[in-house]
Amino acid sequence: MQDDGVLVPLRERVAVARKAAAERRAESEALVAERRRQAARRGELAAERDAWTRRREAAAAQLVDLETRRAESEAERAALAGRPDEIAAERAALRSQLAGAEQQARAAADALALAETRHREADAAARAALETLAGAREETARAGARLEAAREKRAAAAARIMEARGLTPQELAATLSGAPAVPPQELEERLARSSAARERLGPVNLRAEQDLEEAEGSRSALVAEREDLTEAIGRLRSAVRSLNSEGRGRLLAAFERVDANFRKLFEKLFEGGEARLELVESDDPLEAGLEVIARPPGKKPQVLSLLSGGEQALTALALIFGVFLTNPAPVCVLDEVDAPLDDANVERFCALLSEMAGATTTRFLTVTHNPITMAHMDRLLGVTMSERGVSQLVSVDLRTAERLAEAV
């Protein structure tokens, strides 16, 4: 009890001392902050004073520059004070020179008009002389052409006489000097009949036998090429038929396997119902189209386009996985395929995906935002932004995390 009576006043004094110390500390911090503000203000005032000093110096320099420019302007104005009188005198002199030049120009224009008139008259006379000369040249050319034509006709007639009789015109004239005279018109008619008869005979083709041999050789080569082409076409058609036959067989076999897998997967995803694939629009499998007929539980069979969005998604997944079971691929990427599905159908999809991963060697990569789908995956890969503008890839192995949780 005596210790308590001693400790209570001590505690009170300690509390008072702590309070006073806190107040002194606050006052000290306030004084320190005030000194910092004053120091900052002094720095600002010093900078502002320096700025005003520089402005004052710049203004003084500008004043000196303005004084210099004003002095130069005054000097230039004094120098140009007598310039207006000089300009007036120069203008009067120029007017006098302009009047003289205009008078000379009028005289030159009159002389030019007279010269142009004389030039036009001379030009007209020259054109008339040229037209006369051109007419004379044309007449001379026509006369020369007629003379040349006459010479050609005479040479042609001499050549025909030499071809027909073997005589020159002079020799023929000497031979016919004692024969009775024949009218020129009759001679022209006889000559025309003979020329027509010769034209009907046509020219003699001296290369006819050689042309025939060349034509026969070309025909033989074309016949051989036609036979080769016919044989090649037959081989190609046979190969196409063989390929089409083999393709039809392989396509039908693959179609039957895919259809069987599709039926099984559809019944598993929908927990009932039935579906099938049909080849339509052609009897030839290579040209036929594909139709998906589906009947979810409690509904009538109908084509894929008449199903709801979720039913279409499940049916499409069944078809895709049916193809993968027939011909597995190393990797399969499923991008938001569970988006139109509700939670129950997502569970069915995840169960089928796990079964497919175990039954095949395909690695399935699923892009999704659905937490149920994420919970069924072996590993999660995501992108996070821990810092603004900096993306980071995060990987979580769920199976290892489950084993660690079970071990704890």
The average pLDDT across 183-197 equals 74
pLDDT at 181: 61
Tokens for 267, please give them.
């019944």
- Residue 363 phi/psi, 5-degree rounding, is -95, 120
Query: 55 in a domain, yes or no?
Result: no
pLDDT at 23 over 80: yes
Query: 269 in a domain, yes or no?
Result: yes
Over the stretch 283-306, which tens digit does the pLDDT of each residue have?
777 777 888 888 888 777 777 777
Q: What does the alpha-carbon distance between residue 328 and residue 362 come to, in Å, rounded to a whole number?
A: 7
pLDDT at 398 over 80: no
Query: 67 in a domain, yes or no?
Result: no
pLDDT band (50, 70, 90) for residue 408: low
User: Which CATH number covers residue 258?
Assistant: 3.40.50.300
pLDDT at 1: 47
Over the stretch 72-89, which tens digit does the pLDDT of each residue have?
888 887 877 777 778 888
Query: 211 in a domain, yes or no?
Result: no
pLDDT at 204: 61
Query: 352 in a domain, yes or no?
Result: yes
Query: 142 in a domain, yes or no?
Result: no
Query: 387 in a domain, yes or no?
Result: no
SS (H, E, C) the chain: CHHHHHHHHHHHHHHHHHHHHHHHHHHHHHHHHHHHHHHHHHHHHHHHHHHHHHHHHHHHHHHHHHHHHHHHHHHHHHHCCCHHHHHHHHHHHHHHHHHHHHHHHHHHHHHHHHHHHHHHHHHHHHHHHHHHHHHHHHHHHHHHHHHHHHHHHHHHHHHHHHHHHCCCHHHHHHHHHHCCCCCHHHHHHHHHHHHHHHHHHCCCCCCHHHHHHHHHHHHHHHHHHHHHHHHHHHHHHHHHHHHHHHHHHHHHHHHHHHHHHHHHHHHHHHCCCEEEEEEECCCCCCCCEEEEEEECCCCCCEEHHHCCHHHHHHHHHHHHHHHHHHCCCCEEEEECCCCCCCHHHHHHHHHHHHHHHHHCCCEEEEECCCHHHHHCCCEEEEEEEEECCEEEEEEEEHHHHHHHHHHC
Over the stretch 300-338, which tens digit does the pLDDT of each residue have?
777 777 777 778 888 888 888 888 788 878 888 888 888
Over the stretch 31-48, which tens digit does the pLDDT of each residue have?
888 888 888 888 888 888
Q: Which residues contact 320 (CB under 8 A, 6 or more apart)?
A: 332
Per-range mean pLDDT, top range of 12-26, 192-206, 393-407: 12-26
pLDDT at 179 over 60: no
Per-range mean pLDDT, top range of 53-57, 170-174, 359-363: 53-57
Among 147-151, 378-382, 399-403, the minimum mean pLDDT is found in 399-403
| Residue-range definition of the domain harbouring residue 300 | 247-377
**Total number of domains in the chain:** 1
Q: Comparing C-alpha atoms, which of 323, 198, 351, 328 is closest to residue 261? A: 323
Q: Comparing C-alpha atoms, which of 319, 322, 321, 293 is closest to residue 306? A: 293
pLDDT at 2: 47
pLDDT at 166: 72
The average pLDDT across 106-125 equals 84
First-to-last C-alpha distance (Å) of the chain: 54
- Residue 138 phi/psi, 5-degree rounding, is -65, -40
Instruction: Kindly state the percentage of the chain with pLDDT values over 90.
Output: 0
Instruction: Kindly state the percentage of the chain with pLDDT values over 70.
Output: 92
Query: 405 in a domain, yes or no?
Result: no
